[in-house]
Structure 1
Amino acid sequence: MDKSFEKYQKRRLQSSYLSVIISISLVLFLIGVLGLFVIKAKSITEHFKEKVTMTIFLNDNAAKNDVEILKAELKKAAYTKSVIYISKKEAAQKYSEEIGEDFIKFLGDNPLKNAIDLSLKSAFVTPEKMAEIEKKLLNRSIIAEVSYDKPLIELLTKNITRLSFWMLIFSGVFTLIAVVLINSSIRLSVYSKRFTIKTMQMVGATKGFIRTPFIWKSVQLGILGAVVSILGIVAFILYINKTIPELEMLSDYEMLGILFIAIIVLGVLITGVSTFFATQRFLNLRTDELYY
């Protein structure tokens, strides 16, 4: 009977430890992913900004030499990421493929213009800077029109600012949730041993002597939970890097190392502090209060 009860208690204790590890790893994983996006926020915003294209339409009478000079100047410009020349013939062919018929046969002439697709560096993708670039380009006699999605640029700029703000808010909220959830799991784990704590105290053990093994065990669980969450984050990073390589999730090993160390420190800190206060609470209770 004693052996059966001992086995039951052991299984119960292992189940308690497992639930603590799972709680810690899940919460730290969410915090780690959020921290990852905070770290990579610049790369993410740059990725979306540099997808914006400014199309420069050229006059039909533009000399080939002047067009080459313009292309060379654009490639050297501080704001340029890439320059792609699209002839009116190529544009017509692409448009015909999109609509599924040869519109030139219907119209009798190609109404499209030779154009240059200009991709800008992310720092210059703002309403003010793009308007300034547009104004300078329109001063060139060979340029007929400059086109880009102005409402999209304004919306993108506003949303990036809002996103940065809300990411900071969510970081704070998730950290608070982490503390509450992990603290609850630790308290439940310590609660299951409240009678052991009180027995040790009654035979003369000091509070520090009683607390130390509990705190050390919780710290071990915190480290284990942090390691599990880091493995999950690494798998997440590899998946994102394969799916969207432009984000360069693996480009900054130093920042990733700092993130992983921060996760381990957070796991150790939360579990250690939670266990200290949980054991302190039961140490201060009277024997008859342990049943409530």
Structure 2
Amino acid sequence: MFSSNSNRIFSNYFLVVVSISSVLFFLSAFIFFVLNSNKIIDDFKEKIPIVVFIKDEASKIELSQFEKKLSIDNSVKRFVYTSKDDAATKFSSEIGENFVEYLGHNPLLNSIDVYFHADKVETLFINDIVENFQKEDFVYEVSYDAPLIFLINDNFKKVKDWVLVLALFFIFISIILINNTIRLSIYSKRMTIKTMQLVGATKSFIKKPFIFTQIKLGFFSAFISSIFFISLIIYFNSNYFNIDLIIIKNSIIISVATSFALSFLISSISTNFITARFLNSKIDKLY
């Protein structure tokens, strides 16, 4: 009997922790995204290359002068030169066969991938830059993803506004979900609460252990969600975004702190109201 009761209590607490941890994890991730939306978009912009294809007859002096011009241009974040041989090796690796042997020659061109600072990745600025590049005698062609640049700049503000609205809505939903989880947890002990009241225990005395227990479960849930959240940030940052963690440190702290704060506030307030509701109910209403 004791073992069965212990297992039931453990199962109840386990479900509470899993439910609240899941909600807090998504809440932390959402808050982090809202706080870092500008940085994420900027990082994405700075990974869009303007590819300058170089004619085979271009001289080393022309290339050297062009690279020097790029290196002193404040709008340029970085540039990468790729020889036609390196490009052929990479393309052969991608398609799984040596196309140069098949064709008898290498049709690819030497190229320079130019990456600009985020504030310069605007349609008008990039169009001007492309026109200037195309004026160079040694340039065969300039290629870039114009629709992508337009899409990012045209829709970013709209997306950001909607994200803020969704963030507030998500916080509201999170509060409701956590409150319902706590209510279901305490509901199974409603008769115990009423029995303690009937034998003379004060309301504050009855509420304290329930509030304390739910706060502990809330903090434990926030701790678990924070571990998963920080691990996910490190993984995505290492594999996709490569943003300096020091730059996003404050937003990580805010997201985690919000998770702990909400777990404390919702756990304590919800438990207080839920236990008070059972205490104020007539015993026949509890069945």
TM-score between the two structures when normalised by the length of structure 1 = 0.79
Partner deviation per Cα, 1:98-128 (whole Å, 9 max, x = no partner): 781469868xxx9877653311122211212
- 1:220 CA drift (Å): 1.0
What is aligned with 2:99? 100
- 1:234 CA drift (Å): 2.9
- Percent sequence identity is 35
- 1:60 CA drift (Å): 7.7
What is aligned with 2:275? 279
Q: Greater shift after overlay, 111-120 or 28-37?
A: 111-120
Aligned ranges for residues 115-134 of structure 1 at < 5 Å?
115-134=111-130
- Partners of 1:247 and 1:193 lie apart in 2 by 48
- Partners of 2:206 and 2:108 lie apart in 1 by 83
SS in 2 for 1:280: helix
- 1:226 CA drift (Å): 0.8
8 A Cα contact 1:240 1:249, kept in partner:
no
Distance 1:155 1:17, change over 3 A: same
Q: Greater shift after overlay, 50-59 or 207-216?
A: 50-59
SS in 1 for 2:242: helix
Within the alignment, does 1:83 sit opposite 2:79 as a pair?
A: yes
Within the alignment, does 1:18 sit opposite 2:17 as a pair?
A: no
Match of 2:33 among 27, 31, 37: 37
8 A Cα contact 2:29 2:255, kept in partner:
no
- 1:277 CA drift (Å): 1.6
Within the alignment, does 1:219 sit opposite 2:215 as a pair?
A: yes
SS in 1 for 2:74: coil
8 A Cα contact 1:125 1:153, kept in partner:
yes
What is aligned with 1:233? 229
8 A Cα contact 2:203 2:279, kept in partner:
yes
Q: What amino acid maps onto 1:260 in structure 2?
A: V
Distance 1:111 1:185, change over 3 A: closer
- 1:62 CA drift (Å): 6.5
8 A Cα contact 2:40 2:241, kept in partner:
no
Aligned ranges for residues 141-220 of structure 1 at < 5 Å?
146-220=142-216
Q: Greater shift after overlay, 36-45 or 212-221?
A: 36-45
SS in 1 for 2:147: helix
Distance 1:94 1:19, change over 3 A: closer
Structure 2 segments unaligned to the other structure (5+ residues): none
- Partners of 2:271 and 2:121 lie apart in 1 by 50
- Partners of 1:283 and 1:9 lie apart in 2 by 23
Distance 1:285 1:111, change over 3 A: closer
- 1:54 CA drift (Å): 1.3
Partner deviation per Cα, 1:210-239 (whole Å, 9 max, x = no partner): 322221221111111111111222332343
SS in 1 for 2:115: strand
Distance 1:192 1:61, change over 3 A: closer
> How many residue pairs were aligned?
283
Partner deviation per Cα, 1:132-190 (whole Å, 9 max, x = no partner): 33345456666565432212221233454454344334433432332222111211122
Q: Greater shift after overlay, 17-26 or 192-201?
A: 192-201
What is aligned with 2:242? 246
8 A Cα contact 1:86 1:115, kept in partner:
yes
Q: Which has the larger radius of gyration?
A: 1
8 A Cα contact 1:241 1:250, kept in partner:
no
Distance 1:64 1:16, change over 3 A: closer
- 1:280 CA drift (Å): 1.9
Please report the RMSD computed on the Cα atoms of aligned residues, expressed in angstroms: 3.4
Distance 1:94 1:158, change over 3 A: farther
Q: What amino acid maps onto 2:283 in structure 1?
A: T
TM-score between the two structures when normalised by the length of structure 2 = 0.80
Q: What amino acid maps onto 2:262 in structure 1?
A: L
- Partners of 1:266 and 1:26 lie apart in 2 by 13
8 A Cα contact 2:122 2:149, kept in partner:
yes
- Partners of 1:41 and 1:79 lie apart in 2 by 22
Structure 1 segments unaligned to the other structure (5+ residues): none
